A = this chain, B = another copy of it.
Amino acid sequence: MKRRQFLRGGALAALAAPVAAPALADTAPELKWRLTSSFGKSLEVMQGTVQALCKFVAEATDNRFVIQPHLAGELAPGSQALDAVSSGSVECAFTPLAYYAAKDPILVFGSGIPFGLNERQQVAWWQFGGGKDAINGALQRLNVISMPAGVSGTQMGGWFRKELNTVEDLKGLRMRVVGMGGAILQRLGAVTYQMTYVDTLAALENGTLDSAEFVCPHDDERAGFVKFARFNYYPCWWESSGMLHMVVNLDQWNALPKPYQAILARACDAAMTYMRAKYDNLNPPALRKLVAAGAVMKPFPQPVLEACFKATGEHLAEIAGKSIHFKKLLDQVNGYRSDHLAWRQIAEQAYDGFLISATRGKA
């Protein structure tokens, strides 16, 4: 209705002057946004996901709503992408919410806590299990809204110069670990660092680091970790879903025409599937390359996993002791996980388990 009135107005205006540039409809204005990513060029799948997301939005709006992606550091440091959006200096960001735990501890649930939900459970929890409301409720105070826009699935536990055989081996181990995984490994005696992957590679090479985690076989192979530390442990219990978010300034979001909000939301949904599928397509051949290059793929020993699981429970309980808000969500997510593992076990786990045994050595 409004649109038709607008057109009539446009028709009259056209008699007097050339049609103005943004003259289509009030629901389809020309908009240019900037996106700040938490990732640089080295993580090409994350970067490809951001580019796909922006392309999806442009295609759906006939290039009327254009989001220009920027690498980490161009508009804001990777670890402060949300801050830039919160202050309004950039319209949106692609970032892991766990980076911002200092602003509100519950934001780690947006990315996933250690020993938390796997990728499928995390997506279900976000969409239908209360996740969206919990996280966006917390983000409202920061004047932003978020939508999942990427997910990796369970990542790798990192590269070790020596084999890790017992819980004792963690004592004094100098590790590069991101996020809450580091705090938990410290409880078991590890000395953990957060550093860029370039510094990490140098430190592994010169022996000032004993171990480093990065992402998945594809990224790890490209970065060249295997040259300096050949034992590659799994699974990454502190990054079990690897969910990333599109974070949008709330004023900008509210000012968007409803169709643009819908288009952006669906572009994020599609980007999430894109990222997972892209990684799933690249990781298996990368794994083969790594093994050919001398990588030794090893599961963390069961007692090590058990000690980490216990330390995680203690670490989370400590945070919960200081925040009832965090405690409530922790209890809810732990309940969700237990319920969902029962189903996982008789569906995907049973199916994959049989096929892994049936096809072993027959590739």
Residues of A within 8 A of B (CB): 3-4, 7-8, 10-12, 14-15, 19, 23-25, 27-28, 56, 59-62, 115, 118-121, 123-129, 153-156, 216-217, 234-237, 240, 257-259, 262-263, 265-267, 269-270, 272-274, 276-278, 280-281, 283-285, 287-288, 297, 299, 302, 305-306, 309, 335, 337-356, 358-359, 362-363
Distance, CA A118 to CA B347, complexed state (A): 10
- Interface residues of chain A: helix, strand, loop or mixed (majority): helix
- Specify which chain B residues have a CB less than 8 angstroms from the CB of A124 in the assembled complex: 276-278, 280-281
Distance, CA A309 to CA B344, complexed state (A): 21
In contact, B56 and A283 (Cβ under 8 angstroms) = no
Distance, CA A237 to CA B129, complexed state (A): 28
Which residue from B118, B120, B284, B352 sits with its C-beta under 8 Å from A339? B284
- Specify which chain B residues have a CB less than 8 angstroms from the CB of A272 in the assembled complex: 273
In contact, B59 and A259 (Cβ under 8 angstroms) = yes
In contact, B355 and A341 (Cβ under 8 angstroms) = yes
- Specify which chain B residues have a CB less than 8 angstroms from the CB of A351 in the assembled complex: 118, 154, 235-237, 240
- Specify which chain B residues have a CB less than 8 angstroms from the CB of A4 in the assembled complex: 19, 23
Which residue from B8, B129, B337, B358 sits with its C-beta under 8 Å from A306? B358
| A–B complex contacts, Cβ < 8 Å, 23 sampled | A3-B24, A4-B23, A7-B19, A25-B25, A27-B62, A56-B266, A62-B257, A62-B258, A121-B280, A124-B276, A127-B278, A153-B347, A234-B347, A237-B351, A283-B343, A284-B339, A284-B340, A287-B346, A305-B354, A335-B363, A338-B363, A342-B363, A345-B356
Which residue from B7, B236, B354 sits with its C-beta under 8 Å from A237? B354
Distance, CA A213 to CA B226, complexed state (A): 47
- Specify which chain B residues have a CB less than 8 angstroms from the CB of A350 in the assembled complex: 154, 234-235, 299
Known: A154-B350, A235-B346, A263-B263. 14 other contacts (CB 8 A): A7-B7, A7-B19, A59-B262, A62-B258, A119-B348, A120-B276, A124-B277, A124-B281, A217-B343, A234-B346, A269-B273, A283-B347, A338-B359, A348-B348
In contact, B24 and A7 (Cβ under 8 angstroms) = yes
- Specify which chain B residues have a CB less than 8 angstroms from the CB of A263 in the assembled complex: 60, 263, 266
